[in-house]
Structure 1
Amino acid sequence: MRIFLKPSHICTLIKLSQAIDRVTDVIGSSGIWLVILLIAIGFYNVVARYIGRAIGIRLSSNTLIELQWYLFSLMFFLGFAYILKSGANVRVDILYTRWSEKRRALIDFLGTVFFLIPFCVLGIWVSINPVLQSWGLLPDGTWGSWELSSDADGLPRAPIKTTIIVAFATLLAQGVSQAIKYLAILKGYTQVAQTIQEDAEQLPLE
């Protein structure tokens, strides 16, 4: 597979990939705080339910329960790009591990360009209208009220639905970054392959 790019172009693309990776790392590290907050709210909901039952007072609410669901969703939505960067996604590697570095890069490049990136673009495209409707966009083009939870004291649905687009967008950006890395390997930049391996070793799979 011949891809004609000047070394200066490759270096520019690698810098873009590194910038995307830094953003992904920041987003991925925020997942730690989401987990801590999720555990804290979940713990409170459980304790408040039993204590409230014992004393006859409602100490929790649907707001906190739905917030727990939202945080759980955010952990996945914001983790997609970080998982891709770290190579923690599940892959069938019976043949993959036996291939040469450039052959693996070629397969990953083709899979990213022809499957992952179009999938992310499609995901964003089909999510736009439902998200806008959730924010209150009416069929006549005017704006109404936000979509709210059907439960009493529930949270608005629009913000959490918006994170679906954010998830696809960050995954798309990281997909572009990964494609650049694979392309760099195909062009002989072996140090990029070492960077990918180091990222993968950060999240070892048992």
Structure 2
Amino acid sequence: MPRALVLYVRWVDALNYRIGRAAMYLLFVLAGVLLWSIIAKAFFRPPLWTQEMAQFTMVGYFVLGGAYALQLGANVRMDLVYSRWSLRRQAMVDAVTVLTMIFFLGVVLFGGIESTLYALEVGERSRTVWRPYMAPIKIVICTGVFLMILQSVAFLIRDIAHLRGKDI
């Protein structure tokens, strides 16, 4: 395999590993927001922002950790016959299915970018009482989808390398 492709796979793996490990800590942020919500409702005036902030934090956790989950193989795979196939056949099927995933993620990213640009242009805000700006969470979503596309391309390169008899 060309050195540039090997470097790409290693770079994407390292990037998604670091971002995924950092995204794991968003669960602590989520717990803090929910804890504050509980305390504030019990002793003070209920805050308007905690429910939506918890939702935004959870979206960030899932989307930024998505590429890391793909990297670790933590995604759900229906394994009725897959495990019985040879590694070469698995790589062939994976190469085809990853193309489908890249197409799907590309469509999601395209729509996400359009929605983000709209949110930035008009200053879109949530329709809740708190009314936070929507652009930051949309940027996070687009970033996470882009990272999943990068990881999917790395999978495709790995599958092609395996089909050629070389592992990365």
Give yes or no for TM over 0.5: yes
In the superposition, the TM-score normalised over structure 2's length comes to 0.92
**What percent of counterpart residues are identical?**
27
Distance 2:37 2:7 in 1: 45
2:110 matched to 1:125? yes
More helix by share: 2
Partner in structure 1 of residue 134 of structure 2: 157
**Per the alignment, in what secondary structure is the counterpart of residue 165 of structure 2?**
coil
Question: Per-residue deviation at 1:116?
Answer: 1.0
User: Could you tell me which of 109, 113, 116 is aligned with 2:101?
Assistant: 116
Structure showing greater Rg: 1
Question: Counterpart of 1:41?
Answer: 33
What amino acid is the match of 2:47?
A: S
Aligned counterparts, 1:102-113, within 5 A = 102-113=88-99
Structure 1 unmatched runs, 5+: 1-6, 53-57, 137-143, 193-206
Q: What is the SS of the residue equivalent to 2:24? A: helix
Q: Which residue of 2 aligns with 1:97?
A: 83
**Would the aligned equivalents of 1:123 and 1:168 in 2 still touch at CA under 8 Å?**
yes
State the alpha-carbon separation in 2 of the partners of residues 126 and 65 from structure 1. Answer: 26
Measure how far apart 1:179 and its partner are: 0.7
User: Are the aligned partners of 2:37 and 2:50 in contact in 1 as well (CA < 8 Å)?
Assistant: yes
Paired residue for 1:72?
58
Q: What TM-score comes out, normalization by structure 1 length?
A: 0.76
Residue 157 (structure 1) shift: 1.1
Count of residue pairs brought into register by the alignment: 168
Q: CA deviation at 1:13?
A: 0.9
Match of 1:22 in 2: 14
The one-letter code matched in structure 1 to 2:114 is N
Structure 2 unpaired stretches of 5+: none
Give the letter aligned to residue 40 of structure 1: G
Q: Hey, what's the Cα distance between the residues in 1 that align with 2:120 and 2:49? A: 19
